[in-house]
Amino acid sequence: MYLRISRSRFDPARHDDVAAALDASQQSLIPAIRRLPGVLGYWAGIDRGSGTMVNVSTWESEEHARQMATLPEMLALRGTFEAGGVQFEPIVDYQVLWRL
């Protein structure tokens, strides 16, 4: 199993705008992600105080996790978020060694 983590930062004063965009993103992302083989779960979260956003997903394999790097719906939204001042850190795919 693999865990894919995407982290980003934004000006905390823009929290409401970023939160609204993140909430709206589920309209295109949920159907697109559900079509991908190997997806086990997906979570999107935001923190007002730190001005950070995180997307965490679980996948059956590393190959499955890497599908997100070329998902058209995700690429389009990344551009939208970046245009709104969101700065993404490099995305990492972690091999899961244990879980609870």
pLDDT single digits (tens) 55-68: 999 999 999 999 99
State CA 3 to chain mean position distance.
11
pLDDT confidence band for 21 (50 / 70 / 90): very high
Q: Is residue 13 part of a domain?
A: yes
Q: What is the pLDDT of residues 24-77, one digit of tens each?
A: 999 999 999 999 999 999 999 999 999 999 999 999 999 999 999 999 999 999
CATH number of domain containing 70? 3.30.70.100
Write out the residue range of the structural domain in which residue 29 sits: 2-95
Tell which phi-psi region holds residue 85, choosing left (phi > 0), alpha (psi between -120 and 50) or beta. left
Residues 18-22 have a mean pLDDT of: 97
Q: Is residue 39 part of a domain?
A: yes
Count of structural domains within the chain: 1
Q: Is residue 18 part of a domain?
A: yes
> Given this model, what pLDDT does residue 16 score?
97
Q: Is residue 100 part of a domain?
A: no
